[in-house]
């Protein structure tokens, strides 16, 4: 299919936010919308690769066809490689299907127009919560939105999930019936965007049903190289093949790594840095690519006492306590992330409000290649202290799960992880946010309507614009963001 030479709105990136935006923006039949996605696509549920639909697997291992990878430094001494979805549906098509909203106090870091009260209707519009009315209060939930949300029924919880739930209650934590409602911390079942064992991300929930619209065109296998500017106005995009598509408005939804990279390649960023890479600076916005946040995650390994049953959603229960989220994964990563090779099961200990801030740097050898992610995890002593406490508590909880956990060689009272231990077991939750922050200060990149400061007809709508990573996984909040921007009458 050849691209129209012009679309009223060109959306760059058909990931979680891009799919929602393209679907919502094309509800207006008088507006033409073109969605450009770098990765491969599909046009129906039966036509979707089974590995992408299977909610018990994250198809993001080293041999995955559905990801692109980025060189990263989690700490100065800890190199890593970070994967993101690169297909229609983006990271939301390959993720853990944990669909938990940001907490009301997360929005205190956002502009006032994004207070919890103001965003609640948009959260509700994204979902149909199957549990609403059964211990989950309808007030907080949608009944007609595209994304199906449900918690694993108690009787079907994996033994790891139910043992962890009981251990957390026995340790004095509160039971939380609805992790998507405001309220105190505690342990509860995870709201999942899974239906009949299938991951239903924004591509399936929002975009595929809209594909019959004459005013919506979706092109996959098309990587955008830069935004074309006329002065400070975005007038189109140029693809990697050298093709130019004209646009009335360009929306970058290329994800928290792709969008800042595209801005920089288009000459929008910190001028001195762009010049160093041979890019002509066009618009000075020093915050592009700087100050991002993501959740550091420590994988606390253990051994099963007896073999555990097979495939289940990767995470069915979580505990929130203070600055921590505890994640009793239902399978070793070797099983849930094919090719990852981590044979032992782990309990994930996540810092929900990290103080460390990272930077995205263009590759000096070739700025169009994957940029380098410099996380600077664990630099703040308070982050290290919180994670140490979390790991010690995780060890106590594991010790209280004798039906699942082999205690041989594992003495929770003598378990005192030092910094080197933390660093060895450190990973990231892949929740990168805030690389093109929304706000009004000198380092903010977009305004509270997601329009890039000092430009015209150019927006960024993805987790880049979150002022900081939410205290929960970002996916539900990303979908809400795109739902809200996509249903505005003017961009």
Q: Reduced to 3 states, what is the DSSP secondary structure of residue 5? A: coil
Of 64, 316, 459, 463, the one binding ligand FAD by CB under 6 A:
463
Stretch that binds ligand FAD, among 9-17, 321-329, 377-385, 447-455 (CB under 6 A): 9-17
* 53: contact with ligand FAD by CB under 6 A: no
Of 11-19, 151-159, 211-219, 443-451, the segment contacting ligand FAD by CB under 6 A is: 11-19
Which is closer to ligand FAD, CB of 422 or CB of 469? 469
Min CB(416)–ligand FAD separation in Å: 30
Among residues 9, 10, 11, 12, the one that binds ligand FAD under rule CB under 6 A? 12
CB of 13 to ligand FAD, least distance (A): 3
- Strand pairing report for 358-361 and 372-374: antiparallel
Helix H or strand E encompassing 52: helix 50-53
Take residue 322 and report the two structure tokens written for it: 């203070």
The helix, strand and coil proportions of the chain, stated in percent and rounded to the nearest 5, come to: 25, 25, 50
> Phi and psi dihedrals of 283, rounded to 5?
-140, 125
Cβ atoms of 49 and 213 within 8 Å: the answer is no
Both tokens assigned to 447:
């305004």
Rounded to 5 degrees, what are φ and ψ at 291?
70, 25
Q: Which residue is nearest to ligand FAD (CB)?
A: 15
Does 481 contact ligand FAD by CB under 6 A?
A: no
Q: Decide whether 50 or 402 has the Cβ nearer to ligand FAD.
A: 50
For the segment 162-201, give every residue that binds ligand FAD (CB under 6 A). Answer: none
Q: How far apart are CA 491 and CA 489, in angstroms?
A: 7
**By the rule CB under 6 A, 91 interacts with ligand FAD:** yes
Residue 39 binding ligand FAD, by CB under 6 A: yes
Part in contact with ligand FAD (CB under 6 A); list of ranges 86-94, 157-165, 291-299, 442-450 = 86-94
Between 98 and 388, name the residue whose CB sits nearer to ligand FAD: 98
The least CB distance from residue 392 to ligand FAD, in Å, is 26
75 lies in the binding site for ligand FAD (CB under 6 A):
no
Strand partners, 192: 98, 150
Give the separation between CA 400 and CA 345, rounded to whole angstroms: 16
Strands 296-301 and 426-428: antiparallel
206 binds ligand FAD (CB under 6 A): no
Contact region with ligand FAD (CB under 6 A), list: 72-80, 95-103, 398-406, 420-428: 95-103
Size of the site for ligand FAD (CB under 6 A): 41
- State in angstroms the smallest separation of the CB of 263 from ligand FAD: 11
Q: Restricting to residues 409-438, name those near ligand FAD by CB under 6 A.
A: 430-431
Answer yes or no whether residue 150 interacts with ligand FAD by CB under 6 A: no
Give least dist CB 43 to ligand FAD, A.
Answer: 16
The binder of ligand FAD chosen from 72, 163, 245, 254 (CB under 6 A): 254
Q: Which residues contact 385 (CB under 8 A, 6 or more apart)?
A: none
CA distance 125 to 27: 15
3-state secondary structure 109-155: HCCHHHCHHHHHHHHHHHEEECCECCCECHHHCCECCCEEEECCCHH
Identified binder of ligand FAD from the candidate list 7, 9, 11, 17, rule CB under 6 A: 17
Among 7, 11, 13, 483, binds ligand FAD (CB under 6 A): 13
Q: How far is CA 278 from CA 209, 241, 266, 374, 429, in A?
A: 43, 20, 12, 21, 33
**Least distance in angstroms from the C-beta of 11 to ligand FAD:** 9
Residue with tokens 């709201």: 191
- 145 lies in the site for ligand FAD, by CB under 6 A: no
Number of helices (H), then strands (E), belonging to the chain: the values are: 11, 24
3-state secondary structure at position 426: strand
Kindly state the smallest distance separating residue 365's Cβ from ligand FAD, in Å: 18
Q: 18 to 37, contacts with ligand FAD by CB under 6 A?
A: 18, 36-37
Choice from 125, 160, 235, 262 touching ligand FAD (CB under 6 A)? 262
- Residue 313 contacts ligand FAD per CB under 6 A: no
In angstroms, give the least distance from the CB of 304 to ligand FAD.
Answer: 23
Catalytically annotated residues: 431
Instruction: Extract the runs of DSSP E, i.e. beta strands, from 368-411.
Output: 372-374
Residue 371, interface with ligand FAD (CB under 6 A)? Answer: no
Tokens representing 488 are 């505005």
Largest CA distance in the chain: 67
Instruction: Return contacts of 446-453, CB within 8 angstroms, 24+ apart.
Output: 447/111, 448/110, 448/111, 448/113, 448/114, 449/485, 449/488, 449/491, 450/481, 450/485, 451/491, 452/263, 452/268, 452/283, 452/285, 453/285
| Least CB distance to ligand FAD at residue 16 (A) | 3
Q: What residue ranges bind ligand FAD (CB under 6 A)?
A: 12-18, 36-39, 58, 60, 83-86, 90-92, 94-98, 223-224, 253-256, 258, 262, 430-431, 462-463, 473-475, 478
């Amino acid at each position: 299919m050849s691209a129209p030479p012009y679309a009223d709105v060109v959306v760059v990136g058909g990931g979680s936010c891009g799919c929602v935006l393209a679907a919502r923006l094309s509800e207006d039949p008088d507006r033409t919308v073109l969605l450009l996605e770098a990765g491969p696509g599909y046009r129906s549920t039966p036509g979707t690769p089974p590995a992408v639909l299977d909610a018990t697997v994250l198809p993001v291992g080293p041999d995955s066809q559905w990801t692109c990878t980025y060189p990263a430094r989690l700490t100065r001494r800890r190199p890593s490689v970070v994967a993101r979805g690169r297909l229609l549906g983006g990271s939301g098509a390959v993720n853990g299907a944990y669909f938990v909203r940001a907490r009301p106090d997360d929005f205190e870091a956002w502009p006032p127009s994004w207070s919890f009260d103001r965003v609640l209707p948009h959260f509700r519009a994204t979902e149909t919560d199957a549990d609403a009315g059964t211990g989950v209060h309808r007030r907080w939930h949608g009944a007609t939105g595209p994304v199906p949300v449900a918690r694993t029924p108690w009787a079907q919880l994996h033994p790891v999930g139910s043992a962890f739930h009981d251990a957390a209650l026995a340790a004095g934590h509160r039971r939380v019936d609805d992790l998507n409602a405001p309220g105190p911390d505690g342990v509860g079942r995870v709201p999942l965007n899974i239906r009949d064992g299938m991951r239903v991300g924004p591509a399936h929930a929002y975009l595929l049903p809209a594909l019959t619209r004459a005013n919506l065109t979706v092109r996959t296998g098309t990587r955008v190289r830069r935004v074309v500017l006329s002065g400070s106005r975005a007038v189109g995009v140029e693809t990697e093949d050298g093709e130019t598509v004209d646009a009335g408005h360009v929306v970058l939804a290329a994800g928290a790594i792709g969008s800042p990279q595209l801005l920089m390649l288009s000459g929008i960023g910190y001028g001195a840095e762009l010049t160093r890479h041979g890019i002509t600076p066009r618009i000075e916005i020093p915050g592009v690519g700087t100050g991002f946040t993501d959740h550091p995650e420590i994988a606390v390994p253990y051994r099963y006492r007896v073999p555990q049953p097979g495939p289940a959603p990767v995470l069915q229960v979580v505990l929130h306590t203070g600055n921590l989220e505890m994640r009793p994964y239902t399978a070793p990563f070797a099983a849930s992330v094919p090719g990852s090779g981590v044979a032992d099961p782990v309990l994930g200990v996540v810092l929900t409000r990290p103080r460390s801030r990272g930077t995205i740097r263009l590759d000096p050898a070739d700025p169009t290649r994957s940029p380098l992610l410099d996380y600077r995890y664990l630099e703040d002593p308070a982050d290290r202290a919180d994670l140490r406490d979390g790991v010690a508590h995780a060890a106590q909880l594991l010790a209280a799960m004798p039906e699942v956990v082999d205690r041989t060689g594992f003495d929770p009272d003598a378990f005192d992880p030092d910094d080197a231990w933390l660093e060895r077991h450190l990973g990231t939750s892949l929740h990168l946010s805030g690389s093109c922050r929304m706000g009004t200060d000198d380092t903010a990149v977009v305004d509270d309507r997601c329009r890039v400061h000092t430009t015209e007809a150019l927006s960024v709508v993805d987790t880049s614009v979150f002022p900081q990573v939410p205290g929960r996984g970002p996916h539900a909040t990303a979908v809400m963001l795109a739902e809200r921007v996509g249903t505005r009458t003017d961009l």
